[in-house]
Structure 1
Amino acid sequence: MDSGGTPEQVLMGGSMLIGTVGAYLVLGAYLVQLQHYCLAGAEGKRKNRLTLYILVGVVTVCETLRVCFITFAAWRVLVLGIGQPVLRQSPAKTAPSLHILGSFIALFIQGFFAWRIWTHKFNKILGAIAVLIGLLTTTQLIVGVLTGVQLGRIGAIAEQAAVTAGRNGVFNQFINNNQNPGGLTPFAISVGILTSTVFVCDVLITIGMFSIFHVYRKRSMAPRAKSALRVLSINTLENGLITSLCAALTLILYYARVHPWIHMAS
């Protein structure tokens, strides 16, 4: 941000920068996992390989598009906004697509794990976990689409307010939960539902997959299979803890009102 920016502008720019860096870190981690998946898929035969490849391809395209849109939003605020401060008074045209794409990505990934837990369940608890994950990821999709629609509406309202004397800052107030123009649902409610469901889903997926690998490892008599399942259990636990902690941190940051703008670039 430029040194002459207001505290609100500095907070906006700093939060969006953090969100953008985080998005690239997530993309990098995803690409590493994708490489491992491709190598594992090339080594052995798998059922429904074409379906899985299509799913992975769709998720990769959606995640790449999402990071591109996040980059554009950050560039618009951090660079273009220096010479054209009016750009900071409304969201980027691509802003509505961020939460929509994110919700579809969650649907594909979490839905896949819900299906895997359901097909490998060995008791009713795991079946209930799979159903709950499915319900939560569907909730994320609905709320994500509605949030995208709302960001489109607040963009139109903010652009109109920016040229009206005394009405600047509508977009800023909406993100900071100080104003809900046009009867829009408070941004805090949408973000709260999205981040909470992501956190709960990550925890449930970790519990479900770890339980399956752990039980299969105990039942297996082959040393190589037990070793492979042990590695899978550890990787599942590590990845689950990381994603759960990231979701929890995002939720805490928003409700602590430290970086509310991080959700415009994440």
Structure 2
Amino acid sequence: MFVLETGFSILITIAAWNAFGSGWGDPDTLGELDWTWLVMLPLNAILAAMAQGFYSWRIWSLTNRRLWLPILIGCVMLTQVMAAFYSGMTIVVRGRSVSQLFGLWPEITVWLSGSATCDLLITASLVYILTRHRRTSQYPHTTGLINKLIRFSVETGSVTSVAALVKCTLWLSCREWNIHYIL
């Protein structure tokens, strides 16, 4: 995952340079997606699936191997990954312009809302499961560790969930300005 994240960071830097560095002064470069975007869409989906898959497995192991919640998270994860891959392939086929993104409004909406839903499910599930385990613990040291895990889950999960919700909201409400790219 570290290697893929590093590759993603390199690709996003190249895309930013092409749009704002070498494309400076040419407004047409802001409307075109360069080659890096064709790799970033599926790579973004793969990275999200890896993280969400790990947390789904973690939830499965914390719920004493009950399957319904990890299967639900996995289905949402696979849906958003497939929507991201489809969007990337369609952009390659139709042309690499920002206007093509608006033609993929349903697919990108499924992708972004699926990602936000998956992150919210993971955060809420971890907090609920850990809180339930904290109530059954009889040892103060274990309760303290579980409290730290709950705090960590709330802090990191809420940041991820809020960012995904804001990105989805910006896509749905401000499409003509592409503000959702900020996140």
Same fold (TM over 0.5): yes
Where in structure 2 are the equivalents of 1:110-121 lying within 5 Å? 110-121=52-63
Find 1:73's aligned residue among 15, 22, 43: 15
**1:135 alignment partner AA:** C
- Paired position in structure 2 for 1:128: 68
Segments of structure 2 that go 5 or more residues without pairing to the other structure are none
- What is the deviation of 1:210? 1.2
**1:193 alignment partner AA:** V
Where in structure 2 are the equivalents of 1:229-244 lying within 5 Å? 229-244=146-161
Structure 1 length-normalised TM: 0.62
SS in 2 for 1:108: helix
SS in 2 for 1:91: coil
- What is the deviation of 1:133? 0.6
Alpha-carbon RMSD across the aligned residues, in angstroms, is: 2.2
1: distance between equivalents of 2:59 and 2:68? 10
Runs of 4+ that moved beyond 6 A: none
- Paired position in structure 2 for 1:145: 85
Find 1:210's aligned residue among 102, 116, 127: 127
Where in structure 2 are the equivalents of 1:150-189 lying within 5 Å? 150-155=90-95, 171-175=97-101, 177=102, 186-189=103-106
* Contact 1:110 1:137 (8 Å CA) reproduced: yes
- Paired position in structure 2 for 1:199: 116
Structure 2 residue 159 is the aligned partner of structure 1 residue 260:
no
Where in structure 2 are the equivalents of 1:18-97 lying within 5 Å? 59-82=1-24, 86-97=28-39
* Higher Rg: 1
- Residues 46-92 of structure 1 show CA distances to partners (whole Å, capped at 9, x for unaligned) of xxxxxxxxxxxxx1111111121111111111121125555445311
- Structure 1 residues 260 and 88: alpha-carbon distance in aligned structure 2, compared to 1, 3 A threshold: closer
**2:128 alignment partner AA:** S
* Contact 2:31 2:99 (8 Å CA) reproduced: no
2: distance between equivalents of 1:144 and 1:172? 15
**1:196 alignment partner AA:** S
- Paired position in structure 2 for 1:27: none
- What is the deviation of 1:190? 2.1
SS in 2 for 1:94: helix
- What is the deviation of 1:97? 1.1
- Structure 1 residues 230 and 174: alpha-carbon distance in aligned structure 2, compared to 1, 3 A threshold: same
* Contact 2:170 2:179 (8 Å CA) reproduced: no
* Contact 2:168 2:180 (8 Å CA) reproduced: no
Structure 2 length-normalised TM: 0.88
Q: Which has the higher contact order (CA 8 A, sep 6+)?
A: 1
2: distance between equivalents of 1:146 and 1:197? 14
- Paired position in structure 2 for 1:228: 145
SS in 2 for 1:75: helix
2: distance between equivalents of 1:261 and 1:242? 19
